[in-house]
Amino acid sequence: MAPSHLPTRILVVDDEPRVLRAVSRVLERDYEVHCAASPPEALEWAASFAPDLALLDVRMPVMDGFELRRQLAASHPEMDVILMTGSLTEPDAHLIRAIEEGAFYFIQKPFDRRVLQTLVRRCLELRKFRSLANRELARLRIAQGRLLPQDVPSVPGYALSFRYEPFYYATGDYLDFFPRTDGSLGVFVGDGCGHGPSASMLMATVRALLHTQPDVHREPGPALHALGKTFAGLVPPDLFMTAIYLLLESDGRVSWAAAGQDPPLRLDAAGGIAPVDLKANGLPLGIDPEQAYVTVTGRLAAGERLFLFTDGLYEARDRSGREFGRGRLQSTLRQLAGLPLDRMTQALVDRVKDFLEGSDFEDDFTVVAVERIGEGK
């Protein structure tokens, strides 16, 4: 079925009737144009008119164009805006403010009709491309979400919990579980460099290798070596993925190997955190196909926990630029140690979000928590 081609709707707001008439004459042949002589009238009309683009005068009674843009954007977040002014006072300052506050551009009155036509046409062209890109990225997010686990597996002697969140439409983080015939469980956590489609391509490549190459699943060190050797031949030389491979065995034995990623944090039942050994960490996957990785081994007692995470969690920054940091991550885990495992995992993510004070994460993040609950439980 062919898409419908509805006319582009443009809202023009100016308290000067001659400007409204002039802009309408220039644009009405190609677009559906509605003119409003005041911000209140514009807000009333926008509710039903749903403009694709608004041309707003900066200096008007009741409220200026900047405030009108903010109010219109609250109900029409996809609307583009071009600001207009006839003031000769500080035009550069108006231009900078307009762009900083999210306007497409700023135009000085009086303006040539061809300038206005070209600016509007260019704005709408970019709007069309942005809409297409957003649709495709939304499809990518849905498709990629089906490649990631939705639930934790059942493994004798352990409880598991995880959280992940993409920074963009699609994530470069990759989490997966690989049950083995002997009852053990492989856990993989990776973090592709960059953001968006390129990072998600790295994630999909690693997932395909782990799911189609059963010989990869060995002890953690050899597993990362085998994976990295194949991965390096499939991706561009400037792309890589940090990773950790963890193996949980039914008797409480655990082993792991790391490729440029933080090793797991080990918590005892009282919340004490074992010293972190970084010497066993190797290069990220994709940098050196011959890189060997060291397997670190240990045994978890009942009540002990392991936390695996990608750097998007502790590199989160608040509005002043302060990083959450590894130190605050460890202290937060100590404070939350008395909670059940899944509640603790969620509480950790909530603490980081509270630290952001409304800011957004600047990277994907993944958290995996493991607790030894005793054999056969």
Residue extents of the structural domains in the chain: 9-139, 147-372
Identity of the amino acid at 188: F
- Give the other-Cβ count within 10 Å of 236's Cβ: 10
- What are the tokens at 33? 């144009």
CATH class of 9-139: alpha beta
Q: What is the dihedral of CA 53, 57, 63, 68, to 10 degrees?
A: 10
Lowest mean pLDDT among 208-212, 221-225, 318-322, 341-345: 318-322
Q: Compute CA 41 distance to the chain's CA centroid, rounded to the nearest angstrom.
A: 38
Is the model's pTM score more than 0.75? no
**10-52 tens-digit pLDDT:** 999 999 999 999 999 999 999 999 999 999 999 998 988 889 9
Residues 50-71: tens digit of each pLDDT: 899 999 998 898 899 999 999 9
Tokens 């592709």, residue located? 192
Q: Is the predicted pLDDT of residue 5 greater than 80, yes or no?
A: no
What burial letters (b/e) apply to 74-110, b meaning 16+ CB within 10 Å?
Answer: eebeebbbbbbbeeeeeeeebbeebeeeebbbbbebe
Fold match between domain 9-139 and domain 147-372:
no
Both structure tokens of 121: 């046409």
- Quick check: 157 and 166 in contact, CB under 8 A? no
| CATH for 147-372, options being 3.60.40.10, 3.40.50.2000, 3.40.30.10, 3.40.50.150 | 3.60.40.10
Q: Which two tokens stand for residue 100?
A: 């900083």
